[in-house]
Structure 1
Amino acid sequence: MENLKKKIFRCSILIMTISCVNNSNLKIPKTPKVPVQDNYFGRLITDDYRHLENLKDSSTINWFRAQDDYSEKYLEKLSNQRILVEQMKSYYVDEAATIYGVKYADNGFVFFLKKEKKTIYDKLFYKATPGSEAIELFDPSTFHSELNHEYTINYFQPSWDGDFILVSLSYDGIKESNLIIINVLKKTVLPEIITNAEPDSYLGISWLPDSSGFLYLYIPVLDPEDEKYMLNSSTVLHKLGSNSNKRNIIFSSSMVSSLSKKDLPIAKILSKNDRYIIGYKASVENYWLAYYAKLSDLKTGKINWQLFYDLDEKIYADYGVFLNDEFVFISGKNADNRTISSFDLNLKQPFKANILVPEKKDEVLTSLIVSNNKLYYTSSRFGVEAFLYKYKDGQETQIELPIYSGEISLYSPSNENETLQVGVDGWTNDYTRYFLKDQTFILDPLSNQKKYPEFEGLQEIEVLVASHDDEEIPLSIIHKKGINYNGSNPTLLYPYGAYGELMTPFFSPIFLTWVKNGGVLAVPHIRGGGEKGDSWHEQGMKSKKHNSWKDLIACTEYLIENKFTSKDKTVLYSSSAGGVAIGMAIVERPDLYNVFIADAPMLNPLRSEERTNNASNHLEYGTVKDSAECMALIKMDPYVNLKPNVNYPASLIISGYNDSRIDPWIPGKFVAKLQDHSTSDAPILLDVNYDAGHEGGDTIDELIEEYSKIFAFAFWHTNHNLN
């Protein structure tokens, strides 16, 4: 009787904002258990839903459709979603707030994307000078209009001189992009169309110094269902006006013995006056191996690739630049927070690193760039406060920022260009671009200057929380000023904790909609990320991955103990690799969370290597081929560790059916098992987006639709009345 009274009270208290969701007519779509048993070094694991991994099987396809229909019928009753949609859309109606992706060329031209009123996609524009009239350059709706696809621009890059611009187009989250080249002054599209590329994911393209062509990564097979998916990729030189199907390969596994057919050989020209090309063996890890060749080799057609540096040098991904006779880079060698170091290219190999800027205490070096032949670089303290520095003639100078910044981005058209674009971002201050000239910041005329009175009066709190082993975990908390610390606030915890990525502050009207409506946004900077240096990453991967979800649990307990929220008000949300930490958090402490929301999540890492070409993800999670790493994979796998007869939280699992990074069967299997094991009355939904890939929707309207659904679901199940 007591439970019945609680249910009646719950529905009546919310009747003004949302009708009670009636599940009596909704039946969970079932799929049979077909047990498959695997022996992992003597550890037997039974997988009841292995058959769902076959996405070509008609019964699997029908089950996904039925699950999505079931979810849609439930979610359509959440009337608060439409309120949230209207709130979010109101932030994007101002034209000045929709300019982004700003890039300058050496001739002063500035290129950018802009969403105009009554359109769902962004168009490409340019200005001859920042203050001149904007000229429309390309409308993606005109591309292959006969196919009725909603193409969007996912990447663009002007040539050094600004005469041409490459544009990458895709639709429905499908991995492959189409590349076109536009003659800027003539506003005409060149006849060649390049396929089998994805520059938005793989370091973009590199224009030749004379703008006569460019380098791009060619991927022969981009169908995730094909056994040759992502194999035998290579960097190709495309000359303007040439046949795009006759590919001039300049960097591949056939040219360099240490590269395999599974590797990503990405060659780049870093600036227009460089004498060398650099070729990376790219991976998901922070530190890469690289080769180099003379740029003049491109003219002869005989590329003489030589080893530039090995993994032992711990040179940070693609954060390296050629500066006069030096190659300057960020290095993690013997430095947890990294150094700025260099090679003298006049000396013989093997090059010996010279430290220019020593490791900083509590600041992780995060990026560097050359502008006006000066070196600029950024650092981050605990992932929440960013700093900017200049290095010239052996001297380091910290540059005072015009406003407090949680994250800094740097851009310059070339090493020699005087234009250094500095973007600053924060939890509650909008991303703002400046020009830095002679130590003076000048606001970029194209920088968004929209005011958001809706988000005035927000409070940011940064604390350190003791985890299970007393390690201090940075926790960012954003909420409205004046809230009551009485446990009544719905709180969205948004962690990641993987691949050494930093969860730095970002201004998002969409996420701040949660805060505006009385919610608390909490970002735990858990281990597995890079907020406290390389060791922070290492302490949250493979056999130490348990630290990630235990850090998250500790942060949740802190929020509850300090009355920011309560167990009935906690919402756990993440995406992609963040799915491991949040999935294991509800497995280990289902009592601690009331709502679980996972977007394109990794929830079955034990089976990750069974995906077609798992690339280098085993470097992060571990491999089933190694006994110790395999046991760690079993321990970190949310799907494997789900227990029967447990009251699991209300769950919304979102999957993109075109997702090539987290195959749809990964969240699908988790939902099937969770629905079978959970004994609570809370819904467990699989929301399948058939027109999206790993990154979700392509347009702002699609993102608004997705996050309004997420927040409406969370507000409903935390019994929260919208303001």
Structure 2
Amino acid sequence: MKPALAALSLLLPLASSAGGKGAVPPPPVAAKKPVVDTYHGVKVEDPYQWLEKGDDPEVRKWVEGQMAHTRAVLDKLPSRGAIRARLTALLSHESPAHSVDSWRGGVLFALKFQPPRPQPLLVVLTSEDPSSARVLLDPAELDPSGRTTLDFYVPSLDGKKVAVSLSKDGTESGDVTVYDVATGKPLSGEVVPRVNGGTAGGGLTWNADGTGFFYTRYPRGEERPPEDRDFYQQVYFHKLGTPTEKDTYELGRDAPRIANYQLQTSEDGAYVLALLGNGDGGEYALHLRGPQGTWTRVSRFEDKLVAASFGRDGALYVLSRKDAPRGKVLRIPLATPSLDKATVVIPEGQASIESFRPTATRLYVKEQLGGPNQLRMVGLDGKELGVVPTAPVSSVGSVVPLSGDDVLLSSTSYTEPFTVYRYAAKDGKLAKTSLGRTSPLDTRNVQVERVLCSSKDGTQVPLNLLHARGTKLDGNNPTLLTGYGGFNIAVSPGFSVLDLAFIEQGGVVAIANLRGGSEFGEAWHANGSLTKKQNVFDDFHACAKLLVEKKWTKPERLAIEGGSNGGLLMGAALTQHPELYRTVLAHVGIYDMLRVELTPNGQFNTTEYGSVKDPEQFQTLYGYSPLHHVKDGVKYPSVLFTSGENDPRVDPFHSRKMVARLQAATGSRRPVLLRTNNLGHGIGTPLAEEIEESVDVFAFLFNELGMKYRPVSGKVAVPASK
């Protein structure tokens, strides 16, 4: 769901390669079958509604024909061999990365990314030395195809057991298995089905002595009709050694249909926290289970508590946006868990509080600075303790409390790869560990600039520009503009070998911080959601215009790219301003905003996008829905759509309908291609398949922008421009 090339949903094509010779078969023409839907008195034609039935033989035949056409086009593109060699070397760079998530029982738990392994490994480390890592679970050993992925893992409080959710083929439908940490073996019979899902997600948290865990449970069997089985998530408790059918209900019977839960246990195991989300729009209610086993509702949706974490001092710390859109941190005594007893520890400031982690005597607070972020330290008494000295224009990832006030933290930037540091609170020193990655490229000549673009309503929108030092502003640079703008997700600096591979070929990468994200707090998010969603598209358009006006590029050399909600952005951009772009890379996107909520995950999205059931929200959705704004005869840019047949988050019918409509309407001779696969939204895609799609995307992108690929090798890659 990330917007940059590094985070494409890189997936396996359904059709085999057609080879580089022979005629290109034309794409099959989608029949128009008249259907008219009426919304609040407005009649809307939908001639491609039949393409929504993914298992219909006629639809499958159409998709297969599209894939045959796509493969024939892509396989004929020049420089595929050289592109494949370079991207394989970069994406298979064997420097491992250890993404540490928790410290339990004196050991660190981490995911180890180790190319060319198809999936990350679950490991435990006895120190910050990578040589101390011991593999607990390798998904590829369970499934040699590489298509089984680890959704999440949670160690018990003593670190002796770990519960792991595993799913297959991109479905995100994960069953939980419990492993013994000492032996790495699964406990016999300890499998709990469907804890994780693609709609409400999933998670669990252990009890005090590791004899069981609280977990998110979807309806089973005939408890609810089939159409409800991806909804009504509740919290149950599983006691080890007992059948899961005997698991006991804990919480959630009165929760909304689109409920989702985040669970957490206090370090002493006495308290359990359940943060109830109302769909995907950012509304939360907090529940607390005390030592007596009873649940107390601490907050309602309207109280605007959006995150919480247990302190080591007998208190619960919560992030509130009530009368504080940039956030404030409150302290609630666990003995009297009520908002009436809350005191302010950190008042609202200039930066937006994104998250925080308590340690023995302080809070480590991650703050948003408009895209980049920083890690500020505040005592539990509210005293300012300074900022952890991370690099400018970088992002902080996980923060893992150790003993005392020491922490491990990860950081990355546009030019520095994933790095893990240890911060020693006593002396204030930040020390680099060996748990991060090295770079396969030399980035010393990559320059990063941040500029502001003036949107339609005057809002100043940050734009990050990545290019080789000395790049000329002559209007002729091939440029790739990306964005996301939604779900309160900030686009923060990240290291992308694919972006850098584009830059080493003379390209410019532009990354926009659009409204709808969390870059400047809840007001920034709210002004890009629901009936104000058009602001996101206006922000993106302003960024594209600036690139042309300042002569970074010109429309003939400007490509745009986005995935998921960023795919919706691509659909809106190409229908609202088709003259501004040469080519569009649209991945697992949403394009029919009038029927998105008919899908399971689409119903969770209504708290972010709105619903056609509401007259005002319908008018907004209809006003920008990409599918409904394709016009006959317009000379549209070339487009490469990607989708996943098992995608639980965005139904692939969106891409099918959009491709059919664009192919019928476009007045240009530029290709409109559909590249689909039998995986999901992109989460857990095997490495080999990431490489396959990267090669297709790069070959298409280079061909459409008129770039001649220059073969390179080694660690060089970004010379200064001349």
TM-score normalised according to structure 2 size: 0.89
Query: Offset at 1:515?
Result: 1.8
Q: 1:310 aligns with which of 300, 305, 311?
A: 300
Query: Offset at 1:129?
Result: 2.7
Tell whether the 8 Å contact from 2:196 to 2:202 is kept in structure 1 after alignment: no
Within 1, Cα distance between the matches of 2:595 and 2:312?
A: 44
Q: Which amino acid aligns with 1:186?
A: T
Within 1, Cα distance between the matches of 2:180 and 2:484?
A: 41
Within 1, Cα distance between the matches of 2:41 and 2:629?
A: 17
Partner of 2:71: 72
Q: Which amino acid aligns with 1:719?
A: G
Q: Which amino acid aligns with 1:627?
A: P
Q: Does 1:285 align with 2:281?
A: yes
Equivalences for residues 31-430 of structure 1 within 5 A: 31-95=30-94, 97-116=95-114, 119-131=117-129, 133-143=132-142, 150-191=147-188, 192-198=190-196, 202=201, 204-220=203-219, 226-253=226-253, 257=254, 259-264=255-260, 266=261, 268-273=263-268, 275-282=270-277, 283-297=279-293, 304-316=294-306, 318-347=307-336, 349=338, 351=340, 353-361=342-350, 363-412=351-400, 418-430=405-417
Tell whether the 8 Å contact from 2:400 to 2:409 is kept in structure 1 after alignment: no
SS in structure 1 opposite 2:246? Answer: coil
Query: Offset at 1:24?
Result: 5.5
**Counterparts in 2 of 1:68 and 1:100: CA distance versus 1, 3 Å:** farther
Identify which of structures 1 and 2 has the higher relative contact order when contacts are C-alpha pairs closer than 8 Å and 6+ apart: 2
Partner of 1:667: 655
Q: Does 1:431 align with 2:418?
A: yes
**Counterparts in 2 of 1:637 and 1:238: CA distance versus 1, 3 Å:** same
Within 2, Cα distance between the matches of 1:328 and 1:360?
A: 17
Tell whether the 8 Å contact from 1:495 to 1:578 is kept in structure 2 after alignment: yes
After superposing the two structures, state which structure 1 stretch, 602-611 or 111-120, moved more. 111-120
SS in structure 2 opposite 1:529? Answer: coil
Within 1, Cα distance between the matches of 2:262 and 2:368?
A: 28
Within 2, Cα distance between the matches of 1:100 and 1:487?
A: 41
**Counterparts in 2 of 1:144 and 1:467: CA distance versus 1, 3 Å:** closer
Within 2, Cα distance between the matches of 1:348 and 1:696?
A: 37
Within 2, Cα distance between the matches of 1:442 and 1:66?
A: 56
Per-residue CA deviations over 1:469-503 (Å, capped at 9, x if unaligned) read: 21111111111112221122111111101112111
Within 2, Cα distance between the matches of 1:75 and 1:551?
A: 32
Tell whether the 8 Å contact from 1:605 to 1:637 is kept in structure 2 after alignment: yes
Within 1, Cα distance between the matches of 2:334 and 2:236?
A: 26
TM-score normalised according to structure 1 size: 0.89
Query: Offset at 1:278?
Result: 2.1
After superposing the two structures, state which structure 1 stretch, 616-625 or 695-704, moved more. 695-704
Q: Which amino acid aligns with 1:356?
A: V
Q: Which amino acid aligns with 2:165?
A: S
After superposing the two structures, state which structure 1 stretch, 338-347 or 548-557, moved more. 338-347
**Counterparts in 2 of 1:115 and 1:553: CA distance versus 1, 3 Å:** closer
SS in structure 2 opposite 1:390? Answer: strand
Q: Which amino acid aligns with 1:493?
A: L
Query: Offset at 1:286?
Result: 2.3
Tell whether the 8 Å contact from 2:271 to 2:291 is kept in structure 1 after alignment: yes
Identity among equivalent pairs (%): 26
Per-residue CA deviations over 1:229-271 (Å, capped at 9, x if unaligned) read: 3123222222233323432222221xxx3x134422x262343
After superposing the two structures, state which structure 1 stretch, 364-373 or 460-469, moved more. 364-373
SS in structure 1 opposite 2:268? Answer: coil
Within 1, Cα distance between the matches of 2:302 and 2:207?
A: 30
Within 1, Cα distance between the matches of 2:429 and 2:76?
A: 50
Query: Offset at 1:389?
Result: 2.3
Q: Which amino acid aligns with 1:360?
A: G
Q: Does 1:701 align with 2:698?
A: no
Query: Offset at 1:353?
Result: 4.0
Within 1, Cα distance between the matches of 2:99 and 2:312?
A: 26
Partner of 2:510: 522
Q: Which amino acid aligns with 2:670?
A: A
Per-residue CA deviations over 1:498-526 (Å, capped at 9, x if unaligned) read: 11211111112233222222211111111
Tell whether the 8 Å contact from 1:697 to 1:703 is kept in structure 2 after alignment: no
Query: Offset at 1:633?
Result: 0.7
Equivalences for residues 583-594 of structure 1 within 5 A: 583-594=571-582
Q: Which amino acid aligns with 1:251?
A: L
Q: 1:648 aligns with which of 627, 636, 651?
A: 636
Query: Offset at 1:360?
Result: 1.6
Tell whether the 8 Å contact from 1:208 to 1:272 is kept in structure 2 after alignment: no
Q: Does 1:714 align with 2:701?
A: yes
Q: Which amino acid aligns with 2:233?
A: S
Tell whether the 8 Å contact from 1:457 to 1:481 is kept in structure 2 after alignment: yes
Query: Offset at 1:222?
Result: 11
SS in structure 2 opposite 1:105? Answer: strand
Partner of 1:5: none
Tell whether the 8 Å contact from 2:100 to 2:398 is kept in structure 1 after alignment: no
Within 2, Cα distance between the matches of 1:341 and 1:239?
A: 34
Within 2, Cα distance between the matches of 1:631 and 1:164?
A: 52
After superposing the two structures, state which structure 1 stretch, 493-502 or 445-454, moved more. 445-454
Within 2, Cα distance between the matches of 1:150 and 1:203?
A: 20
Cα-Cα RMSD? 2.7
Within 2, Cα distance between the matches of 1:293 and 1:377?
A: 25
Within 2, Cα distance between the matches of 1:222 and 1:710?
A: 42
Partner of 2:525: 537
Within 1, Cα distance between the matches of 2:250 and 2:464?
A: 46
**Counterparts in 2 of 1:602 and 1:225: CA distance versus 1, 3 Å:** farther
Q: Which runs of 5+ in 1 are unaligned?
A: 1-19, 298-303
Partner of 1:511: 499
Query: Offset at 1:588?
Result: 1.3
Q: Which amino acid aligns with 2:605?
A: N
After superposing the two structures, state which structure 1 stretch, 680-689 or 533-542, moved more. 533-542
Per-residue CA deviations over 1:374-430 (Å, capped at 9, x if unaligned) read: 21111111112434223232302222414335211243357x665411111211111
Query: Offset at 1:347?
Result: 4.8
Q: Does 1:25 align with 2:54?
A: no
SS in structure 2 opposite 1:355? Answer: strand
Tell whether the 8 Å contact from 2:478 to 2:508 is kept in structure 1 after alignment: yes
Tell whether the 8 Å contact from 1:221 to 1:231 is kept in structure 2 after alignment: no
After superposing the two structures, state which structure 1 stretch, 324-333 or 39-48, moved more. 324-333
Within 2, Cα distance between the matches of 1:683 and 1:272?
A: 57
Q: Which amino acid aligns with 1:307?
A: R
Within 2, Cα distance between the matches of 1:404 and 1:222?
A: 52
Number of matched residues?
A: 686
Q: Which amino acid aligns with 1:327?
A: L
Per-residue CA deviations over 1:516-572 (Å, capped at 9, x if unaligned) read: 222111111111112122111111122221111111111101001111111011111
